[in-house]
Structure 1
Amino acid sequence: MTLFDSERPYKYIMDTSSILSQKPGETHTRLVYKSQWERIEEYMRSHSIVTCSEIFEEIKDKEIKEWIFSQQCTVLEIDDDIQNNVRKIVTENPKMIEFTGKSGTSSGDAFLIATAMKYGLIIITEENKDKQMKIPQISKKYGITSVNITSLCEMEQWKF
């Protein structure tokens, strides 16, 4: 990290599961949690909440991608440091990435964790915190905190 890195406003990095949770029928649907999403949008516009390019590419929903763009959310690019972190994560957790074609597996997860490692970010994910090969357990091995949207609201003391 350089002197300029300490001036970055980045605090959180958001996973696909949390981003998509705003859709109708999902856990944090915008239809019910409108003011919560307005707060998240404020954090995106101020660059407190970011995502990484692999997560952005993982999202197939055109409306959601446009929403991310409209919030001017910073999408962090993958660099050599992040690639090195990914190699370490995948080598130490080989079952994290299974190319079985199942929708529950993702190569974006390792990049998300690796990016959080580089920038010292807290991960926002809706993944099950008790499952071994999911983001919360793997990130914990590397000293990275992960929270879901409800915990984010508690940490930031948002009241609705």
Structure 2
Amino acid sequence: MTLEIIVFVLAILFGIIIYWTESKSNRIYRFINHLTHNEELQMKPENRKGFFHLQPFLLRLVYITLLFVIAAVIVSFTTPINAFYVQYFVSAIVGTIIGSYIASIFLFASERTKKEALQQAFEKGKDRVEEFVDDVKDNFETETPKPQSKTETKIKDAPKKSARDRFKDKGMIK
């Protein structure tokens, strides 16, 4: 069990390192893309996609599994020890996938906290607030004061009696 945990933690670190290096340069993926596709279907130079970088989950899983299958075949042929490696194989795959997603979160967060991105988000938020305020102003109707009748003005202008006087008038207090 301890060796599995060690393999899992090392696989997480491996996934972070692979994702980070591939986000900086995707030369290997570009080279394989150049070999396997004709010129019309090849990647554009501004495309940053790699084996792990900017790939959906299933393709990332396929590439990581393929990488570890190749590594397992090499290890099984080069070492005379024949053991049951499935648990290490699975924990390495899961750890590498988790590590690649951890790295993508940190790279995405650092991309989003650049000054230009923050200014752009501020301007977008400012525009949305202005649109909201304009919508509220359009829906808001100002109330015009209604002309009051003479009886209403007389009631309002009449001096009010105190509560004690009103109770006396009703006969509740002597």
Determine if the TM-score, normalized by the shorter chain, exceeds 0.5. no
Larger Rg: 2
Identify, as 1 or 2, the structure richer in strand: 1
Between Structure 1 and Structure 2, the one with more helix by share is: 2
- Structure with higher RCO (Cα < 8 A, 6+ apart): 2
TM-score (norm 1): 0.21
